[in-house]
Amino acid sequence: MNKGKLFVISGPSGAGKSTVITRLLKQLSNVYFSISATTREPRRGERDGVDYHFIGKEEFEKLIKDDQLLEYAEFVGNYYGTPAIPVDEKLNAGYDVILDIETKGAEQVMSKRPDAISIFIFPGSFEILEQRLRLRGTDSEEKILGRLAQAKIECQKAEMYDYIIINDRFETACDEVTSIITAEKCKTAGRLHLLSE
Ligand code: 5GP
């Protein structure tokens, strides 16, 4: 059986990454979303073990020490990281795996897994981004300003990604991401064996 493909999706927080990912998980089969560990507090409606594994700082630092994370980063005062074992289990079982991670973590994944396919999602403009962060109504003013400052830094890293999606129209953005995943799965290297079987 072919191994699955690893997709890294980044973009400023508020770019609409999670909404796009939720949609494509419904549209595509055999795709697994990697559930990150984080030390940030759950937002209203978020569920432990579904949206994130919400853990304490000490527990997170133990994961780092025990080399259990494929990557991790500190983002606006909290740790975020990708547990390595579930990602490899799913890839080996033939599932495609999607990581929704910020740019420092994405750099680590790209250097450890050069075959990973990377997609950067931008909201269309910084004004739209600010509106979305404020509408979400979950972060303090300080956190919103921190996320906006971080967004500018992250956009400077967009050039290291394989693909850029402008999410000013949700449907188009979803179609584009779905097309990228579909096209990557049709690549000759992963299909040639089917002709000789
Ligand atoms: P939020 O707090 O809005 O859920 O996420 C903040 C940022 O952390 C987002 O850009 C998100 O992509 C990123 N993030 C979520 N999980 C991980 C992870 O496991 N590793 C890294 N490096 N970033 C993550």
pLDDT tens-digit readout, 73-108: 999 899 999 999 999 999 999 999 999 999 999 999
Query: Is 101 a pocket residue for ligand 1 (Cβ < 6 Å)?
Result: yes
Exposure on the CB side of residue 28, measured as CA atoms within 13 A:
24
The per-residue pLDDT of the chain, averaged, comes to 94
Distance CA(25)–CA(22), nearest Å, equals 5
pLDDT of residue 135: 87
Q: Please give the average per-residue pLDDT across 187-197, as a whole number.
A: 87
Query: pLDDT tens across 55-82, in order?
Result: 999 999 999 999 999 999 999 899 999 9
pTM as predicted: 0.93
Residue 190 has pLDDT above 90, yes or no: no
Mutate to test the pocket of ligand 1, among 10, 17, 35, 38 (most ligand atoms within 8 A of CB): 38
Report d(CA 115, CA 104) in Å as an integer: 17
Q: What is the distance in A from the centroid of ligand 1 to the CA of 192?
A: 36
CATH class of 6-186: alpha beta
CB-based burial label for 5 (10 Å; 0-12, 13-18, 19+):
buried
